[in-house]
Amino acid sequence: MIRTLSDEKTIELLREAVPAVAPGQPDADLWPAVKDRVIHGQGRPVTADLLLVVVLVLLCLLRPSLAAIVFLHF
């Protein structure tokens, strides 16, 4: 016979093993770090931006004549 846990028992076990986390307080004022990030724009590159770069590089490799047009935009 296959035994399976009931939903209620599964939830009970889960609450016991992984109780809710107390968020605590920030270690320091986070605003200077946020402001620095905003001003210097040190975000991770967006996937779409990376894809665009890959496409442009591939285009330039496949059709070198397009490279001049692409570089004209920089």
Contacts with another protein, residue ranges (CB under 8 A): 3-5, 7, 10-11, 13-28, 30-31, 33-35, 37-38, 43
CA-CA distances (angstroms) from residue 27 to 24, 30, 37? 9, 8, 18
> In whole angstroms, how close is the CB of 48 to another protein at the nearest point?
13
Toward another protein, which CB reaches closer, 35 or 63? 35
Is residue 67 within 8 A of residue 60, CB to CB? The reply is: yes
Toward another protein, which CB reaches closer, 4 or 65? 4
